[in-house]
Amino acid sequence: MGSHRRLAPTSGFNQGAGAALCVLSAAAAALGGVPANAAPHEDTRAEVDRLYTEAEKATEAYNKADESAGRLRRQVGDAQDRIARQQERINTMRDKLGSLAGAQYRSGGIDPALALLFSDNPADYLDKASVLDRITAHDAGELQDLQSAMRDLAQERAEAVGKLAELEKSRKAVAIHKKAVERKLAKARRLLNSLPYAERAAYARASRAGGIPDLGSALPSSARAAAAIAAARSALGRPYVWGANGPSGFDCSGLMQWAYGRAGMQLPRTSEEQRYAGRQVPLSEARPGDLVTYHSDASHVAMYMGNGQVIHAPYPGAPVRYDPVDMMPVSSVTRV
């Protein structure tokens, strides 16, 4: 990752879909606080930044896989409930058909012509026969209903089996992404620990930096945006936690989802999806509460706060804070 210089926003918005990720918005700011004689360790710091960036890619991939697994778990649960209800219905229909079949056998066990011939009361026999005919017709309809219900049950079971297979694959994907995050973060920590104390301290100071800037007088685009801004401000100083969406810790997309959730709107989980959660506007027209994504693959997401400032969850070790909107190339601005 390069230095934290102000880069001009990209003109136009790249619509390519990529794995949504949070990028270290201010990690390289530490370089400004490092003594000039620290040049031999530039490569180490650059590698730490790169690992944090890759860890955030894996974090957003983890978020996406975890969301998919959750959705599949709910679908499997719903399917199992439907199967149980359908099975109960089939059992009831079978019991009813069994009773009807028994009644017909007991009442109609001889040839109808002989039964009429030997009957003491032919009129009574004919009445009974008429009832049995109606029962038989009703029985046929019940049997068709039972057959249809059993076909539906078989289809439900087949679909449930498919969902369970998808769920298992999704669980494995979650585990893979989780391991990737942990591996990259562990390597980044080892590299940081290899730096001289003064450089580690400078990096830590840069990670904690960020007071409350002048946000100007621009108004939010809506009452909902105003509520989301208030929620995001209340999260200032809370730690970055990968895969978290509050309230005690956040990753970048988790902070946006939590803030707008407090405003009564459910945003998608990943920054890639959040890019398309509303109407895109030019950066020059950004208003407080708008979502700002960075790089062509929606590599990071923040909330515009006014006067060229955003609030965001930067990267591991850096708490929720303000930073300039042009800290990285802007990909899109979305008005939710």
**Residues that are catalytic:** 252, 300, 312
- In whole angstroms, give the CA distance from residue 134 to residue 147: 20
Distance, C-alpha 29 to centroid of its chain: 31
Distance between CA 106 and CA 112 in Å, rounded? 13
* C-beta separation of 54 from 184 below 8 A: yes
The Cα 69–Cα 171 span in angstroms is: 6
Residue 86: φ, ψ to 5°: -65, -40
Beta bridge partners of 318: 315
Beta bridge partners of 311: 303, 322
What whole-number distance in Å separates Cα of residue 299 and Cα of residue 274?
Answer: 11
DSSP 297-324: TT-EEEEEEETTEEEE--BTTB-SEEEE
Residue type, 184: K
- What is the C-alpha radius of gyration for the chain, rounded to an integer number of angstroms? 33
DSSP-derived secondary structure for 5-43: ---PPPSS------------SSGGGGGGGS-GGGGGGHH
Rounded to 10°, the helix 252-262/223-234 angle is 130
d(CA 328, CA 89): 60
The DSSP code sequence of 131-142 is HHHHHHHHHHHH
Widest pairwise Cα distance in the chain: 121
